[in-house]
Structure 1
Amino acid sequence: MCEIFAGQDPNRYECVTRRLRLNGQSTSIRLERSFWRILDRIAEREGLTTPAFISRLHSEVLQLHGEAPNFTSLLRCACTIHLGEYEQDAGARIAAE
C-alpha cells in the first residue's frame, strides 16, 4: 500500500514558489507542484488565470472572515474540496452508464 504513496515521483511534491498580486499587494505563495496543477485547473474552469482566481478567492476570504491567517493551507484545502467534487462527478457518470 505505501508504495503508491512512497513511490510517487518527487517532482509531484517539489515546492514551487509563484509571485503574484493579491488585491494589489505583491506576494509569493509556495505550494507543492501538484497543488499548483490543481489550482491551474480550477482557475481554467472558472475562466480565470490562476493569479486572478487566487486573488478573487483571497478577497472572498477577507470578506467572509476578515483575515486569512494561513492562506496557503486554505489553498490546499480548496484543492481537496475540488478533488472531492471531481470524484463525486466521476461516480455519478459511472452510475449513469
Structure 2
Amino acid sequence: MCRMFAGQDPDRYALETRRMRLNGQSTSIRLEKSFWRIIDEIAASEGITTPAFVSKLHSEVLMLHGEPQNFTSLLRCTCLVYLENCPTLLAAE
C-alpha cells in the first residue's frame, strides 16, 4: 500500500514559492507543486488568475473569520474541499 504513496514522483511534493499581492500587499506563498496545480485549476474554473483567486479567497476569509492563523494550510484545505466536491477529478488522478 505505501508503495503507491512512497513511489510518487518527488517533483509532486517539491516546494514552489510564488510572489503575489493579497489585498494590495506583496507576499510570498510556499506550497507543494501539487497544491499549486490544483489552485491553478480552481482559478481557471472561476475564470480568473491564480493570484486573483488567492487574493479573493483571502479577502473572503478575512470577512468571515478574521486573519487566518495559517493561510497556507487554508490553501491546502481549499484544495481538499475542491477535490472532495469534484469526484470525477479524483478518479482522473
Aligned length: 88
Length-normalised TM-score, structure 2: 0.93
Q: State the SS of the aligned residue for 1:8.
A: coil
Residue in 2 that maps onto 1:14: 14
Residue in 2 that maps onto 1:94: none
Aligned partner letter, 1:59: S
Greater Rg over alpha carbons, structure: 1
Aligned partner letter, 1:46: E
Gaps of 5+ in 1: 91-97
Q: Deviations over 1:3-59 (max 9, x none)?
A: 100000000000000000000000000000000000000000001100000000000
Residue in 1 that maps onto 2:67: 67
Q: State the SS of the aligned residue for 2:86.
A: helix
- Cα deviation, residue 80, structure 1: 0.4
Gaps of 5+ in 2: 89-93
Distance 1:86 1:3 in 2: 26
Distance 1:56 1:49 in 2: 10
Distance 2:13 2:78 in 1: 17
Length-normalised TM-score, structure 1: 0.89
Superposition RMSD in Å: 0.5
